[in-house]
Amino acid sequence: MNVGDILKKVALVVALPLVLFVGWYVLSAGSENFYAPPLSEILTAFGDTWQTERLKADVAPSLVRLFAGYLLAALIGVGVGVAIGLNRRLRATVEPVLEFFRAIPPPVLVPVIMLFAGIGNGMKVTVIVFGCIWPILLNTVEGVRAVDSVVLDTARSYGVNGPARLTHVVLPSASPQIAAGLRQALSIAIILMVISEMFAASNGLGFTIVQFQRSFAIPEMWSGIILLGLLGFVLSVLFRLAERRLLRWYEGLRAAQRAG
Amino acid sequence: MLEVKGLRKVYRSGSREVEALRDLTFTVDNGDLVCLVGPSGCGKTTLLRCIAGLLDPTAGDVRVNGKAVDGPPEGMAVVFQEYGRSLFPWMSVRDNVELPLKQKKVARARRTELVEQSLDAVGLSGSESAYPWQLSGGMQQRVAIARAVAYEPQTLLMDEPFAAVDAQTRADLEDLVRRLWKRLGVTILFVTHDIDESVYLGQRVVMLSSSPTVVQDELIIDLPAERDQLTTRADPAFIAMRTRVYEQIQAAKKNAGQ
């Protein structure tokens, strides 16, 4: 790829966000609406609001809750998913129940979980785990179940059994689908982090945004929403980079299959 | 010695029963190269999976050196037809060949040596760090053969290994199998649906009937040990034997039709 191509690619990626941003800026420039202030005001508020102290006091706790909940959900989801995926009888027993739990909209659980887990960090992490574990769990079950029979025959006839079978055969084979589940779960985790903080908290991004709204600090509220958007964007870019690195073989395999 | 005695396999699903193998008996002596040939859908793969210990027969038994097979036997390697599915796409060629050796607890230095030697033997030195899907079909099947060779088996099962590669590659791979067999002294059971291939490769050809399968006939291939794609295939003795095998397979199909 030469410099021209790279510039073209960057331009394509940046173009639409730039147009939207400029559009918002221009259209809102003379806004008299109290609830939709000019973007210039929001940007000034953004700079003033999100200083080191606030990042430490509100953004850091949110991120800690998010990662704790997400990692816990990933560990439990993949672990239990592998167990269910490998065991046909267990799968038949628990699958309907799992589908039921998955169908419950996770925000509904916040008040219920508050009753058991209080309003501290434990509650928020529990909410995140309970909400985002399902796509991880169900995708892992599906990925493990779908391991190619020839792959399993090969492993068996060459004595690849026990833990080696899990780490060298079953998990790598299921990894593209597990990654798909993890990707879905990441966006759910962010949503639940914010919602749980909006219900009951004394710090965090969700809490701060609600505080701004209640005290009619509208530009500050908007700046918080923009920060949330940026956070989600950065996390999904990081996820995609990690995925592309770890699943390089899968991309290559698919490209080779498409080429015939 | 590989002994198959009275082997029968019936698949059951619900109240439906399908008899794939009816009654199969044959033996392969140590160091022999025997080809199994039969009409399409005659249960060759079922038979091979029973011998490999991947499938329990309904009746009869398989013995390797006198020991009954009730799981994948030690010292047996399998080359599957679907190389694209049998090689692990998440591993490099080297790791694919090395993994079974790690499981066998072969020491690291010896592993490296075996991987190198076996890839060299199939003409793939220098492809160690490639992924299987970066290679052509014929090269992938060479990797699968290298994996089997590195495993240092006494018995090698090959399940229609060249069914999915083009004709020229196939001829090269047939010669490769003959070469490796002579050099390593392994016992090879080679399953194929290709009549010419079975006569070209084998010391003996076991012909199977249509499903439910029995042994239709056996034929000793008394061609010279040095075989060549050009002269052997043009040899009148070769042509006579391939005609005989062909007739038997046709007869098997006709019997099944009645």
Stated as kind and residue range, the H or E segment containing B206 is strand B204-208
Distance separating alpha carbons of residues A220 and B26, to the nearest angstrom: 84
Residue A8 is assigned to a structural domain of this protein: no
Same domain flag for B186 and B141? no
Domain that holds residue A183: 41-259
Domain span including residue B24: 2-75+154-257
pLDDT value at residue A82: 95
The CA dihedral of A66, A69, A74, A79, to the nearest 10 degrees, is 170
Q: Are residues B128 and B189 in the same domain?
A: no
In this structure, the answer to whether residues B91 and B134 fall within a common structural domain is: yes
What average pLDDT score do residues B176-190 get?
A: 93
Residues A54-99 have pLDDT tens digits of 888 889 999 999 999 999 999 999 999 999 999 989 999 998 898 8
Condensed to tens digits (0 to 9), the pLDDT of residues B56-110 reads 999 999 999 889 999 999 899 999 988 889 999 999 999 999 999 999 999 999 9
Neighbours of A144 (CB within 10 A): 24
Q: Which residue has tokens 């259209």?
A: A27
Mark which of B132, B152, B172 sits at the end of a domain: B152
What is the CATH number for A224? 1.10.3720.10
| Chain A residue with Cα closest to B151 | A158
The ipTM is 0.89
Q: Which residues of A touch B (CB under 8 A)?
A: 148, 150-151, 153-154, 156-161, 164, 168-169, 172-173, 175, 249-250, 252-253, 256-257
Report yes or no on A115 lying in a domain. Answer: yes
Residues in chain A with CB shorter than 8 Å from the CB of B96 are none
The verdict on residue B143 lying in a domain is: yes
pLDDT at A49 over 70: yes
Judge whether A217 and A109 are in contact, CB under 8 Å. Answer: no
Six token digits for residue B111:
């592993």
Cα–Cα dist A133/B51, whole Å:
43
> Could you tell me if residue B63 is inside a domain?
yes
B123 touches chain A (CB under 8 A): no
| A134 in Cβ contact with A182 (< 8 Å) | no
Residue B237 within any structural domain of the chain: yes
One domain, residues B158 and B246: yes
Nearest to A253 among B77, B80, B89 (CB): B89
The answer to whether residue B190 neighbours chain A at the CB level (below 8 Å) is no
Q: Is the pLDDT of residue A161 over 60?
A: yes
Does A29 reside within a domain? Answer: no
Domain count, chain B: 2
Residues forming beta bridges with residue A56, ordered by sequence position: none
Structural domain contains residue B101:
yes
- Give how many domains chain A has, as a whole number: 1
Query: In this structure, is residue A34 part of a structural domain?
Result: no
* Å between A68 CA and nearest CA of chain B: 29
Answer yes or no: is A160 within a domain: yes
Residue A214 lies in a domain: yes
For residues B140 and B147, the answer to whether their CB atoms sit within 8 Å is no
- In this prediction, residue B254 carries a pLDDT of 79
Q: Quick check: B212 pLDDT over 90?
A: no
Question: Are residues B68 and B168 both part of a single domain?
Answer: yes
Q: Is residue B232 part of a domain?
A: yes
Cβ–Cβ below 8 Å for B86 and A151 = yes
Which pTM does this prediction carry? 0.87
